[in-house]
Chain A
C-alpha cells in the first residue's frame, strides 16, 4: 500500500496539473484574444445589446462625427457621402460586412460595457435607456476623403483596388486608413456585393501581399548590420542573375551595370539585392525581417491586422534570392509596410499603430486617455540613419521622384511586386515613405493593386497625402 500511495500521489499531480493547465490556458487566451473574439461580427450578443443600449458616437480627431445613433436607435453614418464612403472600412457598417471596424471592435466602449455600476444604477433609477460611451479616433476623415478622391480620379489608379495608410511615426497614431474600392454603408447595393474587387475587404489590414522592392529596406538593413564593408561592395547587374536554374531579373529587364548598395537602393536594382540576400543567408535576413515584426503575432490594442509572413519552409537559394527583393511568399499588409517606413523614420523604433485617442462618457467627461506605446526596436539607430539617407535619395534622384512635394524633404521606397490574382499575373504598385521633418512626423504606405510601377502609380498618391499634411499640419 505504501508504494501504491507514492504512485497515487504522482497520478494525482498529473491530473491536477492537466486541469490547472486548462484553467491557465483559458485565462491566457481570454485575456489575449477575448476582445477579438467577442467583437467578431459573428457574435450575435452585441447585436442584441444594441437593442437595449444607445451606442455611442465615433468622432474623428477634428470633432467630425463619423457614426452616431438616431432617435429611432438606428446607427447612422455622417451625412457627407464622400467622407462616409472613405471611412467605411475604419468605422464599419451596420451588417458587419467589414471585419473589425471601430463600430464592432470597440463595441465594449460604444455599448457601455465599461460604464461603472453606479452609472448603470443611476440610469436604471432615472428610467433612461443607457447610453454607450463616445470614442474619439486618431483619424482625420478629411485626409481619408482626399486619398479616396485621389485614387478615384487619378488616371493610373481609377477603378483599381488598393489601400493607403498614414500614421504618425513618433506616436503611432493612424491618421488615415483607407481601402479601395469603397462603398456607402448607408446603402449597400447588390453591385457592391457582387463586385469582383470585394469592396467589403479591408485591404489595409487584411491583405498580406508580396511587398516587392519596398522590402529592400529590410534587406538593406540586414546587409548593413551583418555584412561589414557592404557599402563599398560593387555589385554587377547584367539584367539577370542566375541562381541555380532560374534567373532573377529586373523590372522591365533594366541593366544597371556596376553599382554600390546606395545606388542599387536608389534605382531599385533587383540583381544587387538578390546577390545581397545570397551573401546574407536565409537566417540573417529572416532575423532582420522578424526584428521588423514579420512572423510576429500582432496583438495591437486598437487594430486587428493580419500577421506578416517571412516563409520558414521550402527555402533554397532561388527562394532566398527572391526574398531579397520582397517576393517568394513574403507577405505584409499595407499597415505593416507603413510601420516599416515609420520605424526607419523614427530612428529604428517601431510604434504600435493606434486608432483611439480618448473614450468619453455620455456626459462628456473623458473616461480613458490612451497613450503611445513602443512596439519594438526594429533596427539600430546608426543603421536607421543610413537607411534614411538612402530613402531620401530614392525620392530625390531615384525611382520615387513622383512623391516629391516642394518645400518638404520626402524619403521613400517604391515597389512593383509581382503577384497572382485569380490565376493572372499582376504587378502591384507600392510606395512607402515619410516626411523627414520632426514637426511633420508622418509616414505613409500606398498600394495600388494591378497598378504596375510603384514609382509612377503609387508615388503620386503619396505626394497628394504629403501635400495635404504640409498644408494642414504644418506648425501644429
Chain B
C-alpha cells in the first residue's frame, strides 16, 4: 500500500534535459557549421557559429534549468528548431552574400533571454490585474505603430524600423494576446478579451496582414471553446470566420490570386505562381534523403529564408527529415498540451494551451501552405524562419509554457512535501494504526 503511494508521489524529477540528447544535438550542429565553414574558402563566421550555437543550446537546455524546474523535451525541441534555422540560413549565406545566419544566431540569443524573461514573469508575478491592463494598452499601442510609421513589404504593412533594426509588432503582441485572453477568460469576463481581440484583428486587417489575423482568430476561438465549452457560440465563431474568409476572397484581390495559384500554380508560373512552383520543385528535387547540406539551389525560391524555409529544409535534408521536423512540432504540441492539462489554475492552463495552439496553428498554416495543402499565406515557420521578432516571440511562448511547467512542478513538490511531513504512522489508514 505504502509502496504504491510512494510511486505516485515520487520525488519530483529535477533532471535537466537528457544530457545525451543535448550532446548529440550540440555535436550535430558543431559538425554541420564546421562543414559549411570549411567548404571553399575558410570563413570565420562558420567557426564562430560552430562554437556559439552549441554554446547557446547548452545554456538554454542544460544550464538554465538548474535554477528552476523545466520540461526538458520541450526545451530540447525548441532549441533544436532554432539552431536548425540558423544552420539552414547560414548554409545559403555564402552564395547569397548575406549574413542571415549570424543575425539569426544573435536573435536566437535574444530569444533565450526572452524565454527566461517569460519564465520569470509567469513564475513570480502574483498580482496580474494591473499588469494585464498595462500589457493590453502597450500591445494595442505597439500594434498601431506600423500604420503610423511602418513600411509596406509583400503587400502587408506590418513592419516598423527602429534605428537599424526592423520589428514586427504583431509577433510580440501574440504574447500579450495570450496573457489577456487567458486572464479574462479564467475570470469568466467576456468583454475585455473580446474588445482586445477585436481591436487586434481590425488593426491586422488594416495592415493587410491576413495570415497573422487568421492565427490570432483561430487561437482566440480555440481558447474561447476551451474556457467555456460553449459549442453554439464557437460554431457561430467558425461560421463568422468562414464568412470573413469568403468576404476577404471577394474583397481583396490578392486573396483571390493566392487561391487561384493554390489550385494550379503551374498555370501562373510566369507571374504569381512562380514561388509555389519553385517550392514544389525544390521539395521534389530533394528526394527522400535530400541533396545535402549547403547544396542544391534553394535560392531560386523567392523569400526562401522566411516563408519557404521548410522547402529549403526538405531539399537539403530530404522529405524524411522534413516529416521528422513535423513530428518534432507534434511532440512540442503534445508536451505543451500536457503542461496545460497539469496546471492547477485555469489561468495557467489556458495560457499554456493558448501558447500551444498558437504555435501549432502557425506551423500548420505555413507548412500546409508550402506543401500546397492550403493556400500559401505569409506567416513565419515558428523557430526556424529568418526574422528576429518571430524567433524572439516564439521563444517567449516557450517561456510561458516553461513558466507554467515550473509552477506545476512546484505544486507537485509541495504535495510531496505535505505527504512526507506526516509520520509513517499517520499515513497509514486509521484501522491499521497500532
Contacts and interface: CB of A to CB of B under 8 A. Distances in A.
Contacts of B308: none
A207 B341 CA distance: 59
A22 B319 contact: no
Interface in A236-283: none
Chain A interface category by residue count: 35 or more
Interface string A31-47: 00111011010111110
Instruction: Provide the main secondary structure of the chain B interface.
Output: helix
Interface stretch (B29-37, B134-142, B200-208, B277-285): B277-285
B237 interface: no
A369 interface: no
B190 interface: no
B364 A8 contact: no
Contacts of A116: none
Contact of A7 (B229, B281, B356): B229
A35 B344 CA distance: 52
A4 B367 contact: no
Interface in A1-45: 1, 3-5, 7-9, 11-12, 14-16, 18-23, 25-27, 29-30, 33-35, 37-38, 40, 42-45
Interface residues of B, number: 48
Contacts of B225: 7, 11
A12 B333 contact: yes
Contacts of A22: 326, 364, 367-368, 371, 373
A229 to B, nearest CB: 45
A1 B346 contact: yes
A114 to B, nearest CB: 10
Nearest to B342: A5
B360 A18 contact: yes
A113 interface: yes
**Most chain B beta-carbon contacts within 10 A, residue among A15, A25, A38:** A15
Given A15-B361, A19-B364, A22-B368, A42 B222 contact: no
A5 B269 contact: no
B123 interface: no
A43 B322 CA distance: 20
A29 B300 CA distance: 21
Contact of B284 (A19, A33, A42): A33
Contacts of A29: 371-372
Nearest to A37: B284
Interface string A200-226: 000000000000000000000000000
A93 B401 CA distance: 57
Given A1-B346, A4-B227, A25 B364 contact: no
Contacts of B350: 4
A21 B368 CA distance: 9
Nearest to B337: A12
A155 interface: no
B309 to A, nearest CB: 15
A8 B323 contact: no
B371 A25 contact: yes
Contacts of B357: 11, 15
B2 to A, nearest CB: 28
Contacts of B337: 8-9, 11-12
B394 to A, nearest CB: 16
A43 B364 contact: no
Contact of A18 (B226, B300, B341, B368): B368
Contacts of B364: 15, 18-19, 22
A264 to B, nearest CB: 40
Which A-B residue pairs are the 7 nearest by beta carbons?
A15-B360, A12-B337, A34-B284, A37-B284, A38-B284, A26-B371, A18-B364
Interface of A: 1, 3-5, 7-9, 11-12, 14-16, 18-23, 25-27, 29-30, 33-35, 37-38, 40, 42-46, 48, 113
26 contacts: A1-B345, A1-B349, A4-B226, A4-B346, A4-B350, A11-B222, A15-B333, A15-B356, A15-B364, A16-B330, A16-B333, A16-B334, A16-B360, A22-B371, A23-B327, A25-B371, A27-B323, A37-B281, A38-B285, A38-B287, A40-B281, A42-B269, A45-B282, A45-B296, A48-B297, A113-B287
Given A30-B283, A113-B287, 16 more contacts: A1-B349, A7-B229, A8-B340, A8-B353, A11-B225, A11-B357, A12-B334, A14-B222, A15-B356, A18-B364, A19-B360, A19-B364, A26-B319, A26-B367, A34-B284, A40-B277
